[in-house]
Amino acid sequence: MPRTLQIHLGQFSDRGVKPANEDFHGALIPEGEALTLKGAAFAIADGMSSSESARLAAEYAVKGFLNDYFATPDSWTVRHSVEKVLSALNRWLCGQGAQLLDPARGMVTTFSALVLKSTTAYLFHIGDTRIWKLREGTLEPLTQDHHCWASAERVYLNRALGIDSHLDIDYRSLPVEMGDLFLFTTDGVHEYVPPLEIKRLIGASGDNLDAACRALTAAARIAGSPDNLTCQLLRIDDLPAPDAESVFQALTELPFPPLLEPGMILDGYRILREIHASPTSQIYLALDDTSGKQVVLKTPSVNFEDDPGYLERFRHEEWVGRRIDSPHVLKVIEPVRRRRFLYHILEYLDGQTLRQWMAEHPRPTLTEVRGILEQIARGIRAFHRLDMLHRDLKPENIHIDHHGMVRIIDFGSTKIAGIAEIASPVEHTDLLGTRNYTAPEILCGEPATTSSDLFALGVIAYELLTGHLPYGERLGREISAKWMARLSYVSARGERPDLPVWVDGALEKAVRLDPKRRYTIETELVYDFLHPNAEFTERRHRPLMERNPTGFWRGAALISLLVNLALLYLRHRG
């Protein structure tokens, strides 16, 4: 049986000598798929004593974090999920505090949280609660206190939840090992129990982590702590360590279906005809005998029966399709009957690929191209909102129906940021797309970004308008950075002089070789494609040295070389 994350947890909180306990702590350790996709979460908070609602602020922060983190999309990274949640919590605390008679005494709390996912710990911290790591007898503080001393007796928080609408939270991630212990403490404990004593008390408690937490709070009280006392201690007893054999076994749980022919029935779906076949998959039009609806079945190619990378991507394609809800992305249908074979069920679309449409419309109007570009951008936006990168945008993977509705229909190369955080023995690669539409940074071995998808979108828009690629076939053949430096954009106005200068400028920016100078947000690209951008209209009238400094200096060097050769020739003759 595959190993999973196993955690042993201990907790204890006491009001100490204070009349009320303004600390709060909590943990949520899910089971099954949720533990794999989201991990386990732990948090501690200490409401600011001068606050009128200190306990409420601490409780709301911890409970809100634990509830809302697990409600974020599975495709998001831990950091993306937690930062979104904490930003919302902070805004709420600030808003509630502003309604109090004295806003300076508003709902303010420290907050420290840890998420354990796969084999990594993700820490988020603000204030002066602490998280420690105890490994092989070494106790290490993982957080820094965000406070300043006003006097020998008084300390003030300079960073906490609810203080400022702008949230400045510390973040770090680190690999974990079996046997690691993570300790959470409020200042009422760690200001009065030195690290050596903390380590001794934990060791003396053995496997009883609750007893260790009680011992730590008792030691702080004996040492004269005037504050609330809270500890939370967790130990990692096992880590997910999927071996290649068990992963392959899980991936091949369902067998590949045979090649299908009209009239055959697969799990209640009657095959009507083959729509498309490629080296990687087969696509069939089928009729659901139960509902009477037409659907599309996508089956894997037997060429990849023993390829775990292919099998994982094929399964991820269905996972992605079920989570994206956009009119511009093909819908993957959840099966209503138990499957006996590996395949996807897709909605049936009447129409053609964008490649076929381009063959029938070799010179579309700018209005037509704008409509197509806008719809593809909306589809890509649906991916990016879920921390997904498509990585294989091309005309063959885009569908257009008879009403002009555009959809992205293939996402087998999609990178899912949240899934990428999970340890796996399956080798992954970023170089999955079609070269002419793949961003140059990926060709050079760099990871894909949202800008990489927008590069592909820019290439498609350029090709729609001109029938050509912005760098010809050269980008597809070469992958070295040195060769990239020799490439230059070919203006779309050479083929389409009717295009406005600013449209050509938007195309040029979309397909820039340097991703830092490219569009990073879909809406910016679409806006510049629809509205004149002064940057592009003014550039036309700027000197060549400003418009294209590289070209200017290359030209200057060439002229200088020719002049020197001419002088040498004349001198030799003389």
Maximum separation of any 2 CA atoms in the chain, in Å: 105
Nearest to 190 by CA among 223, 160, 157: 223
> Would the pLDDT of 100 be above 70?
no
> Would the pLDDT of 485 be above 90?
no
> Would the pLDDT of 166 be above 80?
yes
Residue 3 confidence class, pLDDT cut points 50, 70, 90: confident
pLDDT above 90 coverage of the chain, percent: 72
Q: Where are the alpha helices (DSSP H) in 386-533?
A: 417-420, 440-443, 450-466, 474-477, 481-484, 501-510, 522-530
Residue 325 confidence class, pLDDT cut points 50, 70, 90: very high
pLDDT of residue 1: 58
For residue 321, count CB atoms less than 10 angstroms from its CB and return exposed for 0-12, middle for 13-18, buried for 19 or more. buried
pLDDT digits (tens, 9 = 90+) for 231-262: 999 999 999 876 666 666 767 789 999 999 99
CB 124 within 8 A of CB 113: yes
pLDDT of residue 568: 73
Chain-centre distance for alpha carbon 352:
31
Over residues 501-522, mean pLDDT: 95
Lowest pLDDT segment from 287-296, 329-338, 382-391, 468-477? 468-477
Whether pTM > 0.95 for this model: the answer is no
Dump strand ranges (E) for 327-420: 344-347, 351-353, 388-389, 398-401, 406-408, 415-416
Residue 290 confidence class, pLDDT cut points 50, 70, 90: very high
CB 366 within 8 A of CB 499: yes
> Would the pLDDT of 539 be above 60?
no
Kindly list the structural domains of the chain, giving each domain's residue range(s) and its CATH number in brackets, ordered by start: 6-241 (3.60.40.10), 247-347 (3.30.200.20), 351-541 (1.10.510.10)
> Would the pLDDT of 546 be above 50?
no
SS3 string, 1-43, reads CCCCCEEEEEEEEECCCCCCCCEEEEEECCCCHHHHHHCEEEE
Lowest pLDDT segment from 167-176, 196-205, 290-299, 423-432? 423-432
What residues pair up with 183 in beta bridges, in sequence order? 132, 233
Residues comprising the chain, all counted: 574
Would you call 219 helix, strand, or coil by DSSP? helix
* Number of Cα atoms under 13 Å in the Cβ half of residue 241: 7
Residue 327 confidence class, pLDDT cut points 50, 70, 90: very high
pLDDT of residue 253: 85
Q: What is the rounded average pLDDT for all residues in the chain?
A: 90
Count the neighbouring beta carbons within 10 Å of the beta carbon of residue 310. Answer: 19
CA angle 524, 527, 528 (to 5 degrees): 85
Residue 280 and residue 295: Cα distance in Å, rounded? 20
Residue 540 and residue 543: Cα distance in Å, rounded? 8
Phi then psi for residue 258, to 5 deg, are -70, 170
CB 280 within 8 A of CB 304: yes
Nearest to 405 by CA among 347, 459, 454: 347
Lowest pLDDT segment from 64-73, 211-220, 371-380, 464-473? 464-473
Q: Which of 209-223, 477-491, 557-571 has maximum average pLDDT?
A: 209-223
Phi then psi for residue 171, to 5 deg, are -140, 140
pLDDT digits (tens, 9 = 90+) for 521-534: 999 999 999 999 98
pLDDT of residue 328: 98
